[in-house]
RNA sequence: UGGGGCGUGGCCAAGUGGUUAAGGCACGGGGUUUUGAUCUCCGCAUCCCAGGUUCGAAUCCUGGCGCCCCAGCCA
């Protein structure tokens, strides 16, 4: 197990329940499970569930967490998703050991349990059409009514079920239903479906089955088979708990797990539903499941987010039953806290403009020393080449700048990080009036960026030697949507509020040459800008592409 | 107007009858600083409303109000 995942998580109402169950000796060993359906990629909402379930397994003695693919609907599920999900869980830092399961592992047992239900006259084969079943179900205020097939004999039901299984009927022709109560106020109890016919190959079982179990039946039984003690799921399943318990009460299962619901995570300025994520990917609104703007784990991984930061985020947001929309700033804070510690610093100019030091000898070059991390001496020093022609950030020069602007404007002295004090003398403009070059003079006595006379220089800016710099593409990411809660958009489509500037690509960035040596995994801070890493898909040694993971906090930009 | 949940500061979230109502994020302000970063210090709520019980209530009771979920042969 990844060492950094070992800090115990803060408690919550679910852990209180578990504590009580241990105290009362209801359980000696806690077993949880993370049960994704392999019909899409995992997102940060799943990370919350993963951290909850695997976190409990880490913190309680002898506890374990199973990874179980809830693969009961071959129409939507793919091996591609299974592989991606495993990778994401591992990347997040969790280990299921030998507890890798699939609901499909239990298809035969599930079928035997269904037969047991039929034999108890607690389930029957219905032959109503899907439309009729809906009609017979009633609605929120009116009770449903019994299907005319509800009183078939056990023998007939057994026979029909067997034939459903062997593929003798067309899809939709018959349906196995639990016999509960068509007038139940909880609609989930109005004879819910247990098995439907699907003539479809399954990623794991191939074409050995023509019927597939429904979630409500398969999930509780699978939990019981695996000896799950606490089955944690999201709030929308609260209404299904009576059903979860009903099945287990009818059947002789090895255990009766406790289902506990908690609220799903919502993050502002993004969407979290699988349906919408699918739509964004398939409609090419983004480049794929791993688009760095998406809240998917693969997108965040590519963007450069660290597993530690995501875990930290999950522990900060807590676990409750309240609907919530967490602000992106919480995630960004977790990220910056981690990145600040692990990322070495470098100088990189994203929007370059020439700075010419007029009094610096034309052909001279010198090597200056830069510190790799101001708060961590162990990261050491590096050489930074200096010469007459440099690049600085275009907005580090301003004409008619206010007093509080600590960067270049005519007559103002600024420190070039690790280098010299430079006083801006004048600029050169093109015919349109755009500044094309900034000129200045340096003070040779300030080498290293300090002066003997104790003269105060408020501003320090980053720079890069023009002749030594490497050119790279840099992608700046911003929130995917322009409104905080796009999913709630009553009028129009949520896609209408997609942020057109969610990615800004800069092609002519000038980076300190050392950055060409970074690995794909390495996160770096570009001083004064933010944290960056190479794009794992597009970056090449001779065509570097960097992603901005998250910007630095900027109290100046806020005021300005 | 059936059933199930939820309501503590801008956003999360502790709190389980006696606490100055934790903490984080955000926000505002001070200090340090060769990143307007980091770090650091300070400030920032009487708990949806109304009654009631109690010496004492965010915590108990009653009645309101608000928000979310459920009518897939999806999970």
Q: Using the C1' atom of nucleotide B36, identify the protein residue whose alpha carbon is closest.
A: A556
Q: Domain A112-214: give its CATH code.
A: 3.90.800.10
Please report, rounded to whole angstroms, the spatial distance between the CA atom of protein residue A261 and the C1' atom of nucleotide B75. 15
- Asked if A217 and A198 count as a contact pair (C-beta separation under 8 A), the reply is no
Predicted confidence at residue A6, as pLDDT, reads 56
Per-residue pLDDT, A490: 67
Q: Which tokens hold the place of A26? A: 């209801």
Q: According to the model, what pLDDT value does residue A375 have?
A: 97
The answer to whether some atom of strand B lies closer than 7 Å to the beta carbon of A413 is no
Strand B within 7 A of A379 CB: no
Q: Which fold has domain A266-342+469-560?
A: Ribosomal Protein L25; Chain P (2.40.240)
User: CA-to-C1' distance for A242 and B50, Å?
Assistant: 35
**Element spanning A100, H or E:** strand A100-102
Domain A354-465 has CATH 2.40.240.10: yes
Strand B closer than 7 Å to the CB of A244? no
What is chain A's mean pLDDT, rounded? 96
pLDDT of A350-387, one tens digit each? 999 999 999 999 999 999 999 999 999 999 999 999 99
pLDDT greater at residue A452 or residue A228:
A228
Residue A458 appears among annotated catalytic residues: no
Task: Tell me whether residue A274 is one of the annotated catalytic residues.
Answer: yes
pTM of the model: 0.97
What is the pLDDT, as a whole number, of residue A33? 98
Distance CA A148, CA A126 (A): 8
| C-alpha closest to that of A219 among A207, A232, A208 | A232
Task: Tell me what pLDDT residue A325 has.
Answer: 98
- A73: nt with nearest C1' to CA: B74
Q: How confident is the model at residue A5 (pLDDT cuts 50, 70, 90)?
A: very low
CA of A14 to C1' of B57 (A): 25
Nucleotide nearest to A274 (CA to C1'): B75
Catalytic (active site) residue A311: no
Q: What's the confidence (pLDDT) of residue A124?
A: 98
Determine contact, residues A407/A398, Cβ cutoff 8 Å. Answer: yes
Catalytic residue, candidates A37, A332, A389, A437: A37
Cβ of A197 < 7 Å from strand B? yes
* β-strand pairing of A31-34 with A64-69: parallel
Those nucleotides of strand B lying less than 7 Å from any protein Cβ are: 1-8, 10-16, 23-28, 33-39, 67-75
Average pLDDT (A300-314) is 98
Q: How distant is C1' of B20 from CA of A30, in Å?
A: 40
What pLDDT is recorded for position A559? 65
Mean predicted confidence (pLDDT) in A114-119: 98
Q: What pLDDT was estimated at residue A253? A: 97
Which A residues between 15 and 74 have a beta carbon under 7 A from any strand B atom?
16, 35, 37, 70, 72-73
What local confidence, expressed as pLDDT, does residue A9 receive?
Answer: 85
Start-end ranges of CATH 2.40.240.10 in chain A?
266-342+469-560, 354-465
The pLDDT score that the predictor gives to residue A28 is 96
Active-site residue identified among A76, A122, A150, A274: A274
Residue A226: other Cβ atoms inside 10 A: 22
Nucleotide nearest A324 (Cα, C1'): B12
In this prediction, residue A1 has a pLDDT band, given cuts at 50, 70 and 90, of very low
Report yes or no: A504 and A495 within 8 Å, Cβ to Cβ.
Answer: no
Q: Is the CB of A324 under 7 A from strand B?
A: yes
Percent of chain A residues topping a pLDDT of 70: 98
Through-space distance between the first and last CA atoms of chain A, rounded to whole angstroms: 46
pLDDT surpasses 70 at A310: yes
Order of all β-strands in the sheet with A352-357: A460-461, A413-416, A421-429, A435-443, A352-357, A389-393, A463-465
Q: Is the pLDDT of residue A491 over 70?
A: no
User: Mean of the pLDDT values across residues A253-274?
Assistant: 97
Q: Would you say the C-beta of A321 is within 7 Å of strand B?
A: yes
- CA of residue A132 to C1' of nucleotide B9, angstroms: 52
Is the pLDDT at A434 greater than 90? The verdict is yes
* A97-111, A142-156, A231-245, A476-490: least confident range: A476-490
Only one residue has tokens 């597009």, namely A538
Rounded to whole angstroms, the distance from the CA of residue A529 to the C1' of nucleotide B41 is 26
d(CA A443, CA A413): 10
pLDDT tens, position by position, A25-47: 999 999 999 999 999 999 999 99
Nearest nt to the CA of A419 via C1' is: B34
Asked whether strand B has any atom less than 7 Å from the CB of A219, the reply is yes
Q: Supply the pLDDT for residue A4.
A: 42
Whole-Å CA distances, A191 to A151, A273, A525: 13, 28, 59
Q: Which of residues 415-444 of A touch strand B (CB under 7 A)?
A: 415, 417-418
DSSP A348-414: EESSEEEEEETTS-TT-EEEEEEES-TT-GGG-EEEEEEESEEEEEGGGB-TT--TT--SB-TT-EE
Strand B close to A141 by CB, under 7 A: yes
Q: Average pLDDT for residues A530-544, to the nearest whole number?
A: 97
Q: Which of residues 95-114 of A touch strand B (CB under 7 A)?
A: none
Supply the pLDDT for residue A3: 39
The answer to whether residue A560 scores a pLDDT higher than 60 is no
Give the residue-averaged pLDDT of A212-217.
98
* Catalytic entry in A86, A122, A264, A382: A264
Band the pLDDT of A8: cuts 50, 70, 90.
confident
Residue A308 has pLDDT above 80, yes or no: yes
Q: What is the pLDDT of residue A558?
A: 73
Q: Span A45-56, mean pLDDT?
A: 98
Instruction: Examine the pLDDT at A91 and tell me if it is beyond 70.
Output: yes
As annotated, the residues of chain A forming the CATH 3.90.800.10 domain(s) are 112-214
The pLDDT of A210-236, averaged and rounded, is 98
């Amino acid at each position: 197990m990844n060492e950094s995942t070992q800090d115990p998580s803060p408690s919550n109402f679910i852990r209180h329940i578990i504590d009580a169950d241990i105290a009362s000796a209801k359980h000696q060993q806690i077993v949880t499970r993370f049960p994704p359906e392999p019909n899409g990629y995992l997102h940060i909402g799943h990370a919350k569930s993963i951290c909850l379930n695997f976190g409990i397994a880490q913190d309680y003695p002898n506890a374990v967490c199973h990874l179980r693919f809830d693969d009961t609907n071959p129409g939507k599920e793919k091996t591609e998703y299974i592989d991606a999900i495993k990778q994401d869980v591992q990347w997040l830092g969790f280990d299921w050991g030998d507890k890798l399961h699939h609901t499909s592992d239990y298809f035969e047992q599930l079928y035997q349990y269904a037969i047991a239900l039929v034999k108890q006259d607690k389930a029957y084969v219905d032959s109503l059409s899907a439309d009729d079943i809906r009609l017979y179900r009633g609605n929120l205020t009116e009770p449903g009514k019994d299907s005319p097939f509800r009183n078939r004999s056990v023998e007939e039901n057994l026979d029909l079920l067997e034939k459903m299984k062997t593929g003798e009927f067309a899809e939709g022709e018959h349906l196995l239903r639990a016999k509960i109560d068509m007038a139940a106020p909880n609609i989930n109890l109005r004879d819910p479906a247990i098995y439907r016919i699907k003539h479809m190959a399954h990623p794991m079982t191939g074409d050995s089955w023509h019927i597939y179990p429904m979630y409500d039946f398969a999930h509780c039984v699978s939990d019981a088979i695996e000896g799950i003690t606490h089955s944690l799921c999201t709030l929308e399943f609260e209404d299904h708990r009576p059903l979860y318990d009903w099945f287990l009460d009818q059947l002789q299962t090895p255990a009766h797990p406790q289902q506990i619901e908690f609220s799903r995570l919502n993050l502002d300025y993004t969407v979290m539903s699988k349906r919408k994520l699918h739509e964004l990917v398939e409609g090419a609104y983004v480049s794929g499941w791993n688009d760095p703007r998406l809240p998917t784990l693969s997108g965040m991984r590519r963007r450069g987010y660290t597993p530690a930061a995501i875990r930290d985020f999950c522990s900060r947001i807590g676990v409750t039953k309240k609907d919530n929309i967490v602000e992106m700033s919480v995630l960004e804070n977790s990220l910056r806290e981690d990145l600040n510690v692990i990322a070495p610093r470098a100088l990189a100019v994203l929007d370059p403009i020439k700075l010419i030091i007029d009094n610096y000898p034309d052909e001279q070059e010198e090597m200056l020393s830069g510190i790799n991390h101001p708060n961590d001496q162990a990261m050491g020093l590096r050489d930074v080449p200096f010469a007459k022609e440099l690049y600085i950030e275009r907005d580090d020069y301003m004409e008619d700048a206010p007093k509080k602007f600590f960067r270049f404007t005519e007559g103002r002295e600024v420190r070039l990080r690790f280098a010299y004090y430079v006083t801006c003398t004048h600029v050169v403009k093109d015919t349109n009036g755009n500044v094309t070059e900034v000129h200045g003079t340096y003070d040779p006595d300030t080498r290293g960026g300090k002066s003997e006379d104790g003269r105060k220089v408020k501003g320090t800016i980053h720079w890069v030697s023009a002749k030594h710099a490497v050119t790279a593409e840099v992608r700046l990411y911003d929130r995917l949507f322009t409104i905080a809660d796009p999913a709630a958009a009553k009028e129009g489509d949520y896609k209408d509020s997609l942020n057109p500037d969610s990615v800004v690509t800069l092609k002519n960035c000038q980076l300190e040459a050392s950055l060409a040596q970074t690995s794909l995994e390495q996160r770096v801070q570009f001083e004064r800008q933010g944290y960056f890493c190479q794009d794992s898909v597009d970056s090449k040694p001779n065509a570097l592409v960097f992603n901005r993971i998250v910007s630095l906090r900027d109290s100046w930009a806020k005021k300005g």
